Structure 1
Amino acid sequence: MSDNQIVDSSFTAIINAPIERIDIPAWCFSLPEAEYQGCSPAHIAAGFTTAADGKRMSINVETIGGSLMVQHYVETLGQKDHLILDSESDVFTPSGRTTIHVTWELSVKAIDKTRCEFTNRVRSFATDEMLAFLARQGIPFDIFRAQRQPMSIAHNQGETPLFAASIERAALRDN
């Protein structure tokens, strides 16, 4: 774990669809807001746009551990079976606003001709802004990390099977 890494959380779920039918970027960048909200009670809103350089972006709003997060996920790898998004996310806490870096990685691998294993991996890192924010409040980073990890891990664990079910529905829709 790097010095400023907060969490590295990964969970898997089964998708009952052949890998040829799965397109994670297409799912992510066309995900209806209600579908996103249905994947976690902490999910508030979702949309998609493009970054200044033209790369695709997914905008997600959610709460984790009582903090509102606005994530600006920019596509850094976009393959049908593997999507990596990076975000300098805004975090709104009772003590004020700061930022956090989040890398969201979604992938599938075939189990057999009709099923895949979906992996939802989330890594978060304190930005320099966040480290200064914590220092101004006298909060040691190790204490913050220890308190944040269980909430982030629980969130990822809860949304993973629901994301898998959503990707499965998208894969099985008539083309």
Structure 2
Amino acid sequence: MKKLFQTVCETTINAPKEAFNLHDWVFTLSDKDYQTTARGHIAAGSSIHTDGTQTSVNVESVGGNLLVQHYVAEAKEPDYIKMVSMSDLWLMKLIHIVVKVTWEMRLISVSKNECKFQNTVLVEHPNFIMKILSALALGGYFVRKHNEEETPLFAKNLYERTFKEKV
């Protein structure tokens, strides 16, 4: 696989990282909550494969391209989750290809009462020509802008759902 682009965004949460469980949050994120965390978020849901593996299915539009992602968690800790998807991508909603998307979220302690929410997206494809095409289509720019929008909204949703549920 060749890296097409990667983006990392962070935002501060005014609570200790021990208050949160990223795995539980991402796999119980409602369709409506997902839609409110970025303009390009169309739909989300969770399901179980026949082997019992939990999946998160996300549908989104990034830079005019439609993605359907089928994430499986490779790491699932309360403060770190790494999910990988062989994602269906329709370039300009016309040309279908499959890309590998790795989505990582982590909570990093800043102080006793504060942490950082870090959101990383890596997109890969085996064909070098896709690296050239994605650069020409400004794919990295659009994914970065999307990540910059969703990161603080994901953190806000994580905070609100965590503390709403504890009340």
Q: Same fold (TM over 0.5)?
A: yes
Q: TM-score, normalised by structure 2?
A: 0.91
Please tell me whether the aligned partners of residues 17 and 172 of structure 1 are also in contact (alpha carbons under 8 angstroms): no
| 1:142–1:33 Cα change, 3 Å | closer
Q: Counterpart of 1:106 in structure 2: which amino acid?
A: M
Q: Counterpart of 2:109 in structure 1: which amino acid?
A: A
Task: Indicate the structure with greater strand content.
Answer: 2
Q: Counterpart of 1:144 in structure 2: which amino acid?
A: L
Please tell me whether the aligned partners of residues 5 and 124 of structure 1 are also in contact (alpha carbons under 8 angstroms): yes
Mapped pair 1:53 → 2:42: no
Q: TM-score, normalised by structure 1?
A: 0.87
Q: 1:17-56 alignment to 2 at 5 Å?
A: 17-56=15-54
Per the TM alignment, residue 121 of structure 1 is displaced from its structure 2 partner at its CA by: 0.3
Per the TM alignment, residue 52 of structure 1 is displaced from its structure 2 partner at its CA by: 3.7
Per the TM alignment, residue 143 of structure 1 is displaced from its structure 2 partner at its CA by: 2.8
Mapped pair 1:141 → 2:141: no
Partner of 1:78: 76
Q: Secondary structure in 1 aligned to 2:111?
A: coil
- Per-residue displacement from partner, 1:51-106 (whole Å, max 9, x unpaired)? 34322111000001111110000011000000000000011234421111000000
The size of the alignment, in residue pairs, is 163
Q: How far apart are the structure 2 equivalents of 1:32 and 1:95?
A: 28
Partner of 1:10: 8
Q: Counterpart of 1:79 in structure 2: which amino acid?
A: E
Mapped pair 1:101 → 2:100: yes
Task: State percent identity of aligned pairs.
Answer: 32
Q: Which runs of 5+ in 1 are unaligned?
A: 135-139
Q: How far apart are the structure 2 equivalents of 1:52 and 1:68?
A: 27
Q: Which runs of 5+ in 2 are unaligned?
A: none
Q: Secondary structure in 2 aligned to 1:119?
A: strand
